[in-house]
Amino acid sequence: MSNAPSTPQAIRGTQDIFGADAEAFAHVVETFERVRKLYRFRRVEMPVFEKTAVFSRSLGETTDVVSKEMYSFDDRGGESLTLRPEFTAGIARAYLTDGWKQFAPLKVATHGPLFRYERPQKGRYRQFHQIDAEVIGAAEPMADVELLVMADQLLKELGIADGVTLQLNTLGDGESREAWRAALVEYFRAHKAELSEDSQDRLERNPLRILDSKDPRDKPFTADAPKIDDYLSAEAQDFFGAVTSGLDAAGVAWTRAEALVRGLDYYRHTAFEFVTDRLGAQGTVLGGGRYDGLMVALGGPETPAVGWAAGIERLAMLVADAGQTAEAPLTAMLAVEDDAALGFALKTLTALRHQGIDAEIIATGSPRKRFDKAVKSGAKAIVSFVVKDGVPVANLRAGETTPARLAVEQVLVTVQP
């Protein structure tokens, strides 16, 4: 009987990303980095964990994320810390603690892993990854427009914009939202006994969340619930009008979604989601909104802000489905047919890579079979290395004249044994 130790398994809800999936993941991140530079969003790197208060105060003690899903722990000093479940709260904390206010209006972007203890399912993990963009210190609707135009361009450049719809709503300013909230509480109270348990629980503290309930018991009541448009102040109407006209001018298609809400009190004005029917029930690929009240919740001054985030895994699934990330064929394969030519081959390999040409080398196994292996690699250019009259020689195998082949040929001219 073997006493060999058993191999530890991966933690449920985590993933090892490899091959085509990893290529799709990288394609999303690379495209995001390119687009955020076009829009002059500055790159930030944020801590993976923060004091628990950063999230409990920003997300609200009563939200599912805080009450059920956060990975929180006491460190050795007895302080409660939490692995970040989202980016916005940490960025808002940094804005207040690191003096970033001097750069307002500040446009920042980041990406990386986030952590939530929730039931794993397709496209949803306990360690997952997001891209994130925020504009802090800009109260004007143009900031909302720029973020939405940027998100729209990102989806187009990823090649996944077909079948993705921008759904847009307004939550009004603080005064509008409060009036709407009071009307919702009064309306839903009359039907409390017939609502789902979750909605009954949300009725007093978070009635807006009832509007986006997926429970069929709530559907008959949400359809006739009071609408935000009946409670919008003139200023809030003007703000939403400026956002929609800005999107129209930029050629970004949108549809009004009156049931699209954000439950937390610090959200104001614009709320939006880019949704698709290509991921089953998990239809949101990118979402965000204006959160003008967040800084106050973190003990800072009133500070306008708007942002969005998108799951890299979900975007990568759409990218893979659209066939966007087939690995490009290898440009150059070097076959060392005589071991005495290995040094020259390595010198050539380095020169090719320094010129931005991807290349591999075959220098192990039977020397007679190395060239055949190189041919089977499917590389655009195959270079064999032999020794003639005691001198290492590189031979570019005959083939079609292509830009890749010409580039390899130019490097070979410059490399001497």
Residues 132 and 87 sit within 8 Å (Cβ to Cβ): yes
Q: Which residues are known binding-site members for L-histidine?
A: 86-88, 116, 130, 134, 262, 266-267
Q: Are 103 and 142 members of one domain?
A: yes
Q: Are 254 and 135 members of one domain?
A: yes
Residues 57 and 100 sit within 8 Å (Cβ to Cβ): no
Which tokens belong to 77?
A: 């000093």
pLDDT above 60 (res 282): no
From 301, 334, 320, select the one nearest 408 (Cα to Cα): 334
Report the CATH number that the domain containing residue 336 is assigned in CATH: 3.40.50.800
pLDDT at site 365: 93
Question: How many residues are there in the chain?
Answer: 417
Mark residue 391 as left, alpha or beta (left: phi above 0; alpha: psi -120 to 50; beta: remaining).
beta
| SS3 call for 2 | coil
Residues 332 and 45 sit within 8 Å (Cβ to Cβ): no
Q: Are 49 and 164 members of one domain?
A: yes
Q: Are 361 and 253 members of one domain?
A: no
Q: Is residue 1 part of a domain?
A: no
Q: Are 369 and 313 members of one domain?
A: no
How far, in Å, are 60, 158, 208, 317 from residue 162 at the CA level? Answer: 36, 11, 30, 14
pLDDT above 90 (res 3): no
Q: Which domain holds residue 379?
A: 332-415
Q: What are phi and psi of 347, to 5 degrees?
A: -60, -45
Q: Are 309 and 389 members of one domain?
A: no
CA–CA distance, 49 with 281 (Å, rounded to integer) = 30
pTM greater than the 0.75 cutoff: yes
Q: Are 356 and 275 members of one domain?
A: no
Q: Are 394 and 258 members of one domain?
A: no
pLDDT at site 32: 98
**Range in 181-185, 219-223, 330-334, 360-364 with the lowest mean pLDDT:** 219-223
Q: Is residue 94 part of a domain?
A: yes
Higher-confidence position of 365 and 212: 365
pLDDT in tens, 313-351: 999 999 988 776 667 789 999 999 999 999 999 999 999
Alpha helices per DSSP H over 190-271: 197-205, 208-211, 219-222, 234-250
Q: Is residue 4 part of a domain?
A: no
Q: What are phi and psi of 289, to 5 degrees?
A: 170, 180
Q: Is residue 215 part of a domain?
A: no
Q: Is residue 189 part of a domain?
A: no
Query: What's the whole-number average pLDDT of the chain?
Result: 90
Q: Is residue 223 part of a domain?
A: no
Q: Other CB atoms closer than 10 Å to residue 326's CB: what's the count?
A: 9
Domain end (from 262, 292, 322):
322
pLDDT in tens, 372-404: 999 999 999 999 999 999 999 999 987 778 888
Q: Is residue 113 part of a domain?
A: yes
Domain count, the chain: 2
From 27, 17, 18, select the one nearest 324 (Cα to Cα): 27
Q: What are phi and psi of 172, to 5 degrees?
A: 75, 175
Report the CATH number that the domain containing residue 148 is assigned in CATH: 3.30.930.10
Q: Are 339 and 274 members of one domain?
A: no
Q: Are 318 and 337 members of one domain?
A: no
H or E stretch covering 169: strand 164-170
pLDDT at site 281: 59
pLDDT above 90 (res 56): no
**Range in 45-49, 196-200, 311-315, 381-385 with the lowest mean pLDDT:** 196-200
pLDDT at site 146: 98
Domain end (from 322, 343, 364):
322
Extract long-range pairs of 185-190: CB within 8 Å, 24+ residues apart: 187/225, 187/226, 188/221, 188/225
Q: Are 301 and 241 members of one domain?
A: yes
Q: Which residues are known binding-site members?
A: 86-88, 116, 130, 134, 262, 266-267
Q: Are 336 and 312 members of one domain?
A: no
Residues 119 and 69 sit within 8 Å (Cβ to Cβ): no
DSSP string covering 75-88 = -TTS-EEEE-S-SH
Which tokens belong to 121?
A: 């399912």
From 266, 209, 264, 271, select the one nearest 239 (Cα to Cα): 271
Domain end (from 267, 302, 322):
322
**Range in 163-167, 183-187, 258-262 with the lowest mean pLDDT:** 258-262
Q: Is residue 228 part of a domain?
A: no
Q: What are phi and psi of 132, to 5 degrees?
A: -150, 135
